[in-house]
Amino acid sequence: MKTVAVYCASSTQIRPSFFDAATEVGRLLAESGIRVVTGAGNMGLMNAVQNAALEAGGTVVGVIPEFMIRENWHHTGLSELIVTPDMHTRKQTIADMSNGCIALPGGCGTFEELLEVITWKQLGLYLNPIVVLNQDGYYDPLLAQLQKAVDENFMRNLHANIWNVASSPAEAVDMVLNTPQWDPSIRKFAKF
């Protein structure tokens, strides 16, 4: 079964349109027969994605560090719950399980997950599609910064193709399912 990682916020104090998009992503993935893997949180967009996928008959695997279990921050109704010793192992496990990922709006944790998997793809360590759902223009500043890194030669032009940008949940799901794997030979370092 194909598995898509969804990175997103656990915040509950955000616009309803973000919750609507998260719900639609979870539902569309489940309806496409795609297993969803998340950080297993029980709040915010993460909770919305998980619940929508489950309600649509999908399979949801949550990966969460042990300290978050002690805080009762985990969703208790997932198809499977994997407990890791720390955050680093959590991120690696999610990436290892996935055939692609979608980043919904989020805060520092979501940024960090997204940028780490982008870095891994740049290095040829993660070859799967990465989709940024730019709901309501949320990621415009980050996307502009990434383009500035390309423009200023901190990244090669072809590295701008590491991620795809979607403007709707349906487009994000289509992109993650239909974008080919990254060519690992691109990781070879060369002068610009």
Q: Where are the alpha helices (DSSP H) in the chain?
A: 16-31, 44-55, 66-70, 87-97, 108-122, 140-151, 169-178
Instruction: Please report, for the chain, the start and end positions of each structural domain, with discontinuous segments joined by +.
Output: 3-177
Architecture of domain 3-177: 3-Layer(aba) Sandwich (3.40)
pLDDT band at 188 (very low <50, low <70, confident <90, very high): low
In whole angstroms, what is the distance from residue 132 CA to residue 107 CA? 14
The 10s digit of each residue's pLDDT in 73-131 is 999 999 999 999 999 999 999 999 999 999 999 999 999 999 999 999 998 999 999 99
pLDDT band at 192 (very low <50, low <70, confident <90, very high): very low
User: Global pTM?
Assistant: 0.95
